[in-house]
Chain A
């Protein structure tokens, strides 16, 4: 894994590749979400997607299992980044499946079924996060321990770049965090993210840009130690 800012590996060659319908430049060797379903599988309502949605509408439990097999890991991964803990992430995924079952009748195929499901997941995570914040505020008002502030700057001595990046992501705005995780971590396209978060593609691109710029600043090495670190 290359380090960002404080432990940068030698710059890989720029290998412009194109996601379906949009330009994207990825460092060579990163691959393009090989373990996730291809982006084209999640664009608006393809036949497989519609068939899966129809089976879910019929109440077929196997269809839900198929949805879980296709997207469960990704859903849990996203939820873990939005909520912080694996147990909360699993609760969020379970709640999302229950919500999908409850409201599947209202799915009209205007967007991809997977996009629709992820939109529910993101909203569920936000709700859970808000509830948790409220609980923490109540505890704080009752004299409990103050929440631990996130680490704002990754130092060169930090044991884990991954942890540093996760903490830096936690300092982003909710919107920036959603877009960054969906695009950079989960490999969704801007068109899909726009559908999930009910924003425009341009807004998704702008938000990603500002999120990355913030992360770049947060993870930048202290002056004088540039190009030092793990190299």
Chain B
């Protein structure tokens, strides 16, 4: 292998042993290349001298203590996380089953609260409902019956006065009572068809109150 000065750096960079041998042959007859080769190789030799193999006996104990401390710290952290990551160590089947159960539980809870809400909403609306429930209706009917009996008694007391007197005032009272009785009769027939209708009850009550007032006026007009 024939070497020239120009090949020197290429050999320095990445020369094969054969190329180095050829460069050495060339350097034997080329002082500049011999000088460069010597300097190059002595740089490597000098670098080896930079090694300091003195050992600090205190270093390993110091490292060991810090490693032990860190190991304990890592163990504590892992223990803390172990509780939370427990599920992830379960087999996939169990994880799927757990997820399914959670979905079902949430669905049932949702349905339960929805139904509860609907029912409570219905109960709340009943208070504002124009139709009476059975219990309230029975109570109203009992009171009405007592009230009607009382008004009938009052009417029986005024009957002789109405029949005997022939003044225009009495005629008016008779006519008014006829109108009121006719209205009461009409409302009663409507109430029979729809007894839970609170509105009808209010109207009927107003008629009775008016009849009661008229009868009291007749009694008070008795000379």
Q: Which of A37-45, A112-120, A208-216 contacts B (4 or more CB under 8 A)?
A: A208-216
- On whether the beta carbons of A26 and B44 are closer than 8 Å, the reply is yes
Q: Which of A8-16, A46-54, A125-133, A139-147 contacts B (4 or more CB under 8 A)?
A: A8-16
Residue A18 is within 8 A (CB to CB) of chain B in the complex: yes
Q: Known contacts A4-B46, A14-B37; decide if A94 and B59 are in contact (CB<8 Å).
A: yes
A30 contact from B14, B48, B62, B66, Cβ within 8 A: B48
Q: Is the interface of B mostly helix, strand, loop or mixed?
A: helix
Q: Known contacts A8-B39, A101-B67; decide if A2 and B59 are in contact (CB<8 Å).
A: no
Residue A107 is within 8 A (CB to CB) of chain B in the complex: no
Residue A27 is within 8 A (CB to CB) of chain B in the complex: yes
Q: Is the interface of A mostly helix, strand, loop or mixed?
A: helix
User: How near does chain B come to A125, taking the closest CB pair, in angstroms?
Assistant: 16
B12 contact from A27, A94, A165, A212, Cβ within 8 A: A212
Residue B42 is within 8 A (CB to CB) of chain A in the complex: yes
- On whether the beta carbons of A25 and B60 are closer than 8 Å, the reply is no
> Which residues of chain B come closer than 8 Å to A3, judged between CB atoms?
42, 46
How far is it, in angstroms, between the C-alpha of A112 and the C-alpha of B28 when the chains are bound?
42
Residue B50 is within 8 A (CB to CB) of chain A in the complex: yes
User: How near does chain A come to B131, taking the closest CB pair, in angstroms?
Assistant: 74
Residue A152 is within 8 A (CB to CB) of chain B in the complex: no
How far is it, in angstroms, between the C-alpha of A77 and the C-alpha of B9 when the chains are bound?
30
Interface size class of A (residues with CB under 8 A): 35 or more
- On whether the beta carbons of B43 and A81 are closer than 8 Å, the reply is no
- On whether the beta carbons of A27 and B46 are closer than 8 Å, the reply is no
User: How near does chain B come to A225, taking the closest CB pair, in angstroms?
Assistant: 14
User: How near does chain B come to A142, taking the closest CB pair, in angstroms?
Assistant: 32
- On whether the beta carbons of A5 and B49 are closer than 8 Å, the reply is no
How far is it, in angstroms, between the C-alpha of A18 and the C-alpha of B19 when the chains are bound?
13
- On whether the beta carbons of A25 and B34 are closer than 8 Å, the reply is no
- On whether the beta carbons of A209 and B13 are closer than 8 Å, the reply is yes
- What is B's interface to A at a CB cutoff of 8 Å? 9, 12-17, 20-21, 24, 34-35, 37-53, 55-56, 59-60, 62-64, 66-68, 70-71, 74
List, sorted by A's number, 11 A–B pairs whose CB atoms are closer than 8 Å.
A2-B42, A26-B41, A30-B48, A61-B68, A90-B59, A101-B70, A185-B50, A185-B51, A209-B13, A212-B40, A215-B43
Given contacts A72-B60, A209-B12, A212-B43, 5 further A-B contacts (CB under 8 A): A12-B41, A27-B41, A31-B48, A65-B64, A165-B47
- What is A's interface to B at a CB cutoff of 8 Å? 1-5, 8-9, 11-12, 14, 16-18, 23, 25-27, 29-31, 35, 59, 61, 64-65, 68, 72-73, 76-77, 80-81, 86, 90, 93-94, 97-98, 101-102, 161-162, 165-166, 169, 180-181, 184-186, 202, 205-206, 209, 212-213, 215-216, 219-220, 226
